[in-house]
Amino acid sequence: MIQNSYRKCRSFYHKLKFYYSVNWTKTLYFNFKKFPFQIAKKLPVFFYGRVKFTSVAGEIKIDGNIKKGMIGFGQPYELNKAQKGISEIFILGKLTFKGKFQFGKDCFVFVGENANCELGNMASMASSGKIICTEKIVLGDYARFGSEAQIIDTNFHDLIDTETGEKLEKSAPILIGNYNFASNRVSVLKGTQTSDFCTIASNSLCTKNYTSLGKNILIGGIPAKLIRSNISRDWQGEKQQLDDFLTI
């Protein structure tokens, strides 16, 4: 009887702690501003802690079965719990969620005008991550990025060939396959493409199409190159744990 009462009190405490961590003002504002009422009332997007809406003028779409809190922004799922309070969203183009998605603390997400950013089911971006999309970025299902990773499809500035005067391509689509895992401080720049089951080592710089290397590979370095074949994160072994992270 005492043990049962303890479990109930503990469950109540964790629920109270969780709901206290949600930024309800931003959560309610965002959902009812960006989605039809029948979707908005389910509160599919939760915001945690401080977050700045620089702009949410663009189109935001969720494909799949709509559930409460299926998308978390500032979600405290990592070992470090403190926040800097610098999370920011700047959406002018189209942002599509293909299912559940998880942003860690202090992330920055920018989707420019006429740009298209598509985030796969069960994909994620850990704390202090950055997505800057000026043309096109696609993350496959279970494409998960570690802390301080950045995905940027543009050089920001025009570059020219000083011999020919030719203006070089400023941006190019980024296409990340399914079941990709990028460790911390990985930079993925314009034109990067990866196959399914690609692992990217910590502090790597990705700048090109790696799909010719096949699946189940480990790449890394500056710039990234093939390190090992026939290797993959144990996705099946971690599936339940990953599901729990993204379930309220």
CATH number of the domain within which 234 lies: 2.160.10.10
Other residues' Cβ atoms within 10 Å of the Cβ of residue 158: 9
Q: Which domain holds residue 54?
A: 40-156+170-245
Task: Write down the pLDDT at residue 27.
Answer: 97
By DSSP bridging, strand 123-125 and strand 144-145 are parallel
Q: Which pLDDT does position 23 carry in this prediction?
A: 95
Span 41-59, mean pLDDT?
Answer: 96
Asked if the structure places residue 15 within a domain, the reply is no
187 pLDDT more than 90:
yes
Q: In the chain, pLDDT over 90 holds for what percent of residues?
A: 79
Tokens at 25, concatenated: 């003002």
Rounded Cα distance, 220 and 57, in Å: 37
Q: Rounded mean pLDDT of the chain?
A: 91
Length of the chain: 248
Q: Which of 3-17, 135-149, 186-200 has the lowest mean pLDDT?
A: 3-17
Instruction: Determine the Cα–Cα distance for residues 134 and 57; give it in Å rounded to an integer.
Output: 15
How many domains does the chain divide into?
Answer: 1
Q: Do the domain assignments include residue 207?
A: yes
Of 122, 137, 125, 156, nearest to 247 by C-alpha is 122
Asked if the structure places residue 188 within a domain, the reply is yes
The angle at the Cα of 52, spanning 46 to 54, to the nearest 5 degrees, equals 115
Report the percent of the chain where pLDDT is more than 70: 91
Confidence at residue 226, expressed as pLDDT on a 0 to 100 scale: 98
Residue 45 has pLDDT above 70, yes or no: yes
Q: Is residue 140 part of a domain?
A: yes
pLDDT tens digits for 69-104? 999 999 887 888 788 989 999 999 999 999 999 999
Residue at 6 is within a domain: no
Residue 13 in this model has a pLDDT that exceeds 60: no
Is 182 inside any structural domain?
Answer: yes
User: Is pLDDT larger for residue 128 or for residue 79?
Assistant: 128
Q: How far apart are CA 127 and CA 108, in angstroms?
A: 10
pLDDT per residue over 130-170, tens digit each?
Answer: 999 999 999 999 999 999 999 999 999 999 999 998 998 99
Return the residue matching tokens 């991550």. 129
Whether 219 and 226 have beta carbons less than 8 Å apart is answered as yes
- Domain membership of residue 31 (yes or no) is no
The reply to whether 176 falls in a domain is yes
Per-residue DSSP letters for 172-223? --EEE-TT-EE-TT-EE-TT-B--SSEEE-TT-EE-SB-GGG-SSEEEETTT
Of 17, 13, 151, the residue nearest 81 (C-alpha): 17
